[in-house]
Amino acid sequence: MSITRDIKDFALDIGYSKIGITPADSFQDHIDEVQSRGEIYDYYLADPRQLLQGAQPKKIMPSARSIISLAWDYAQKAFPEPLLGKVGRIYQARCYNAPPDRINGARLPLMMDFLAKMGCEIGKGIFVPERRAGARAGVTTFGKNNFAYTGKSGSFILLSSIVLDKELEYDAPTYSVKCPRDCTACMDACPTKAIYEPLKLNPRRCLAFNAFSTQDERPLVTSYIPPEIREKMGTRVHGCDVCQEACPRNSAKLKEKYPEDPFLVNLAEEFSLTKMLEMPDQFYERTIRPIMYNYIQDKKYLRRNAAIALGNTGDPDHVPVLALAMEDPEELVRGYSAWALGRIGGPRARSILESGLKREHSSPVIDEIKAALADSAGS
């Protein structure tokens, strides 16, 4: 049996849904695309990890010969109703950049161990453009919404790539868009029109980007989310699945009945947006961290997102918890709670905002309170 067959059998045996292999050539089209939209992708180009270098694997690893692309279907168990519309499915599935001591984080190291035992040298820290690698390795096709699709799993897949030094048998590329020609359902459904034309996304308008990439510590982004985007976030505190839910290529997968995930069922029972705003330590460790570990390390960003979500419910029952948050030591939490109170409106919310304005000393929070008072003036 060939080494290629051994590798593919092993991948499928440990749960991958699909595997393909492509030569370790550059992804020049990816480089051209990102550079041609440098204004939109300035934060990506400024990332200290130099992400674009991964599009030229041989520059980082001269011995590189092949890229293995692996797809894992993360929608094999049911997603509890209370979490849908709040946390993206890929995060609920605990598979995106999962830590190696968790089952979904152990799969890729297992694969790498297997390859190392077969005598392969494996590239480290090479950020291959996963969706392009998947398409070139015959694993996925593109959707106009920019997601990668594979067979019955639709776009609910986690893609991973491994660069290695062995020449293997290569798969035929599936480098194409397989959407019905006239379909625009994803673009129509996107709340912020972030997909401005097929295969073109403005990440700064994407709700997922706004929920977790807007952090002050990152290059060329800040924690500020424009009010127009906050309103469109609804109750989505981590990720957004709207353009995947609208997609006819996912409809069979979305209709399928799956067994419960008991871990998620327990977690969903404890999950609440008000608690997320307050974020007691035990709640964070048991309920938030297991499904939101991948992008946000500082709780203040998660609490900001919870404040936005509470404001977007428009429910006056949330005024007391937001009033408490207006006295929080963290200015980001105070500022976004002010926005949420303005969004809910009403005399009680106004009075809390007015009291907050009298004692507030942070100018960004003062600005938020003044804007919230102006917004709620007619309510």
Number of other CB atoms surrounding residue 199 within 10 Å: 13
- Which residue's beta carbon is nearest to the bound ligand SF4? 179
CA distance 337 to 353: 10
Q: Which of 118, 252 has the CB closer to ligand SF4?
A: 252
Assign 20 to helix, strand or coil. Answer: strand
Q: CB of residue 297 vs ligand SF4: minimum separation in angstroms?
A: 22
DSSP secondary structure string for all residues of 137-163: TTS-EE-TTS-EEBGGGBT-EEEEEEE
Q: CB of residue 301 vs ligand SF4: minimum separation in angstroms?
A: 18
Q: Which of 179, 372 has the CB closer to ligand SF4?
A: 179
Q: CB of residue 225 vs ligand SF4: minimum separation in angstroms?
A: 13
CA distance 325 to 274: 10
In sequence order, what are the beta bridge partners of 195? 201
Q: CB of residue 212 vs ligand SF4: minimum separation in angstroms?
A: 12
Q: Which of 24, 41 has the CB closer to ligand SF4?
A: 41
Look at residues 23, 32, 22, 25 and name the one whose alpha carbon lies nearest to residue 52: 32
Q: Which residues bind ligand SF4 (CB under 6 A)?
A: 143-145, 179-180, 183-186, 190-192, 194-195, 201, 206-208, 240, 242-243, 246-249
Q: Which of 81, 182 has the CB closer to ligand SF4?
A: 182
Q: Which of 201, 322 has the CB closer to ligand SF4?
A: 201
Q: Which of 66, 250 has the CB closer to ligand SF4?
A: 250
Q: CB of residue 232 vs ligand SF4: minimum separation in angstroms?
A: 8
DSSP secondary structure string for all residues of 176-208: SB-S-TT--HHHHH-TT--EEETTEE-GGG-HH
Q: CB of residue 130 vs ligand SF4: minimum separation in angstroms?
A: 16
Task: Indicate the length of the chain as a whole number.
Answer: 379
Q: CB of residue 168 vs ligand SF4: minimum separation in angstroms?
A: 31
Q: Which of 240, 307 has the CB closer to ligand SF4?
A: 240
Q: CB of residue 239 vs ligand SF4: minimum separation in angstroms?
A: 7
Assign 19 to helix, strand or coil. Answer: strand
Q: What torsion do the CA atoms of 318, 209, 83, 130 make, to the nearest 10 degrees?
A: -170
Q: Which amino acid is at 85?
A: G
Q: CB of residue 86 vs ligand SF4: minimum separation in angstroms?
A: 13
Q: Which of 123, 295 has the CB closer to ligand SF4?
A: 295
Q: Which of 23, 198 has the CB closer to ligand SF4?
A: 198
Cβ pair 300, 330 in contact under 8 A: yes
Number of other CB atoms surrounding residue 196 within 10 Å: 12
CA distance 292 to 284: 10
> Residue 331, class by beta-carbon neighbours within 10 Å (0-12 exposed, 13-18 middle, 19+ buried)?
middle
